[in-house]
């Protein structure tokens, strides 16, 4: 018992140093993890809809709207704030342009992609094909009625004054920021 | 004397019907509730509750609509507590403010009229619709396929559960026939 005391004391000292080193290592690791998580929380998380995006270069919405005919049939990648979403079926959304007072509609096949109404105000990256829509007056009235129904607002016939030509993007895939 | 046992097909039919019924009951209730909800999509939004509030702000508040201070003043004036996430000007007289709590505020910059739209999930129903309309895609597609096959099996085995006057050779024949005729009549009416 007498001789064992110094050894046990030595063991205790070694053990303390070992524990201290361990604690230091653990503390450093935890700190690194917290810093990593904190940094990670700064990154934007996206929810994916439809097909995976294949393009990497974005086209400005203002560029498309400035010369839409030159983009018809072209696959483009756009980005911007979502300013409206189809309330009923989530089958379209509108993305704000980089230029003032401009936006472009992204239409997807009903039920294939469903955009949540809560996406309004979030940033979207959308890939799709630019389309030309040529509507007769009757078709334009029908479409305006349909959109009014979807948004739960009253249809105003004065908004349609004749045949309409518009451009939209047939959406294939999208990423929406959380 | 033959020892060959007779295959009791009705017994197995009823076992399959019973156990598949137990397995399918949960999803059937979910699909039934969601089915009614989405059937009336023209009359209401089955996924979200959209609450609108009309109010106004004093014209003095509507300074520079691109200024964060103006936007915050508008939100404070209409008692919206969230943080503005983004803004948009669809035209000269309208300002849209998107708040991080899901509220969208439409401000008429000429009159000061404000329309706030608060979007809230319809809890449970939205999740039921999510599954029913196969929004998850991926693995859920195959599970839903299996469920559809199970429903078909339930229907077929259900026909043979009872024998006698109340079975498929009696009353069951009339009711099964009615079930086939009803959709045919609707097709004849609407197509």
Alpha carbon of B43: minimum distance to chain A alpha carbons (Å): 9
B147 touches chain A (CB under 8 A): no
Nearest-Cα residue of chain B relative to residue A84: B104
Percentage with pLDDT > 70 across chain A:
75
Percentage with pLDDT > 70 across chain B:
98
Q: Quick one: pLDDT at residue A23?
A: 56
The answer to which of B36-50, B75-89, B96-110 has the lowest mean pLDDT is B36-50
**B42, B47, B98 ranked by CB distance to A120: nearest:** B98
Contacts of B121 in chain A (CB under 8 A): 118
Q: What is the mean pLDDT of chain B?
A: 93
Looking at residues B82-99, what average pLDDT do you find? 95
Nearest-Cα residue of chain B relative to residue A113: B135
Those residues with Cβ within 8 angstroms of residue B114's Cβ, 6 or more apart along the chain or in another chain: B54, B55, B56, B57, B74, B78, B105, B106, B107, B108
The answer to which of A18-32, A74-88, B44-58 has the lowest mean pLDDT is A18-32
Nearest in space to B125 (alpha carbons), one of B27, B26, B39, B38: B38
Q: What are the phi and psi torsion angles at A172 (to 5°)? A: -110, -35
pLDDT one-digit tens code per residue, A6-48: 334 444 444 454 455 555 555 555 455 444 545 455 688 999 9
Q: Do B45 and A100 touch (CB under 8 A)?
A: no
The Cβ-side half-sphere exposure at B93, using a 13 Å CA radius, reads: 6
**Which pair of structure tokens corresponds to residue B157?**
């085995």
Which ipTM value was assigned to this complex? Answer: 0.76
Q: Quick one: pLDDT at residue A34?
A: 47
Alpha carbon of A136: minimum distance to chain B alpha carbons (Å): 25
DSSP 3-state of B127: helix
Instruction: Specify the DSSP class assigned to residue B61.
Output: G
- What is the rounded CA–CA span in Å between residue B130 and residue B144? 12
Contacts of B138 in chain A (CB under 8 A): none
B45 touches chain A (CB under 8 A): yes
Reported as a pLDDT band with limits 50, 70 and 90, residue A146 is confident
The answer to which of A32-41, B33-42, B88-97 has the lowest mean pLDDT is A32-41
Looking at residues A58-63, what average pLDDT do you find? 97
Q: Do B104 and A121 touch (CB under 8 A)?
A: yes
**A83, A117, A121 ranked by CB distance to B48: nearest:** A117
B92 touches chain A (CB under 8 A): yes
Nearest-Cα residue of chain B relative to residue A147: B42
Q: Quick one: pLDDT at residue A19?
A: 54
**A81, A118, A122 ranked by CB distance to B119: nearest:** A118
B104 touches chain A (CB under 8 A): yes
Q: Do B45 and A89 touch (CB under 8 A)?
A: no
Contacts of B88 in chain A (CB under 8 A): 81, 83, 96, 103
Those residues with Cβ within 8 angstroms of residue B51's Cβ, 6 or more apart along the chain or in another chain: B117, B118, B120
- Is pLDDT of A149 > 60? yes
Looking at residues B55-65, what average pLDDT do you find? 87
B167 touches chain A (CB under 8 A): no
Q: Quick one: pLDDT at residue A3?
A: 38
Reported as a pLDDT band with limits 50, 70 and 90, residue A153 is confident
- Is pLDDT of B74 > 60? yes
- What is the rounded CA–CA span in Å between residue A171 and residue A85? 13
- What is the rounded CA–CA span in Å between residue B76 and residue A2? 78
Nearest in space to B176 (alpha carbons), one of B190, B162, B191, B187: B162
pLDDT one-digit tens code per residue, A101-141: 999 999 999 888 999 999 999 999 999 999 999 988 888 88
Looking at residues B78-89, what average pLDDT do you find? 94
Reported as a pLDDT band with limits 50, 70 and 90, residue B177 is very high
Nearest-Cα residue of chain B relative to residue A103: B90
pLDDT one-digit tens code per residue, B116-152: 999 999 999 999 999 999 888 889 999 999 999 999 9
**A88, A96, A152 ranked by CB distance to B88: nearest:** A96
pLDDT one-digit tens code per residue, B9-18: 999 999 999 9
Nearest in space to A85 (alpha carbons), one of B183, B104, B153: B104
Q: Do B88 and A83 touch (CB under 8 A)?
A: yes
């Amino acid at each position: 018992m007498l001789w064992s005391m110094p050894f046990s004391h030595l063991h205790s000292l070694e053990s303390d140093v070992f524990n201290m080193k361990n604690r230091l290592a653990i503390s450093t690791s935890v700190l690194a993890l917290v810093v990593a998580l904190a940094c990670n929380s700064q990154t934007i998380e996206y929810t994916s809809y439809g097909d995976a995006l294949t393009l990497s270069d974005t086209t400005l919405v203002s560029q498309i709207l400035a010369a839409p005919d030159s983009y018809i049939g072209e696959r483009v990648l756009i980005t911007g704030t979502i300013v409206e979403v189809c309330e009923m079926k989530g089958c379209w959304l509108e993305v704000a342009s980089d230029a003032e007072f401009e936006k472009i509609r992204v239409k997807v096949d009903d039920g294939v992609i469903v955009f949540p109404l809560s996406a309004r105000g979030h940033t979207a990256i959308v890939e799709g094909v630019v389309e030309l829509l040529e509507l007769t007056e009757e078709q334009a009235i029908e479409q305006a009625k349909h959109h009014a129904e979807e948004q739960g607002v009253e249809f105003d016939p004065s908004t349609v004054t004749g045949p309409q030509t518009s451009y939209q993007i047939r959406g294939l895939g999208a990423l929406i920021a959380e | 004397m033959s020892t060959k046992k007779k295959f009791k097909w009705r017994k197995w039919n009823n076992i399959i019907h019973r156990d598949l019924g137990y397995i399918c009951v949960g999803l059937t209730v979910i699909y039934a509730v969601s089915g009614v909800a989405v059937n009336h999509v023209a009359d209401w939004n089955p996924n979200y509750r959209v609450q609108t509030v009309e109010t106004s702000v004093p014209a003095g508040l509507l300074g520079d609509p691109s200024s964060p201070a103006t936007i915050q003043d508008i939100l404070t004036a209409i008692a919206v507590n969230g943080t503005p996430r983004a803004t948009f000007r669809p035209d000269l007289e309208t300002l849209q403010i998107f708040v991080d709590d899901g509220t969208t505020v439409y401000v008429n910059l000429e009159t000061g009229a404000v329309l706030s739209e608060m979007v809230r999930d319809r809890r449970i129903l939205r999740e039921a619709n999510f599954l029913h309309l196969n929004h998850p895609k991926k693995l859920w597609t195959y599970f839903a396929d299996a469920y559809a096959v199970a429903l078909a099996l339930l229907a077929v085995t259900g026909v043979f559960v009872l024998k006698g006057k109340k079975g498929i050779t009696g009353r069951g024949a009339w009711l099964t026939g009615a079930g086939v005729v009803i959709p045919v009549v609707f097709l004849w009416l609407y197509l």
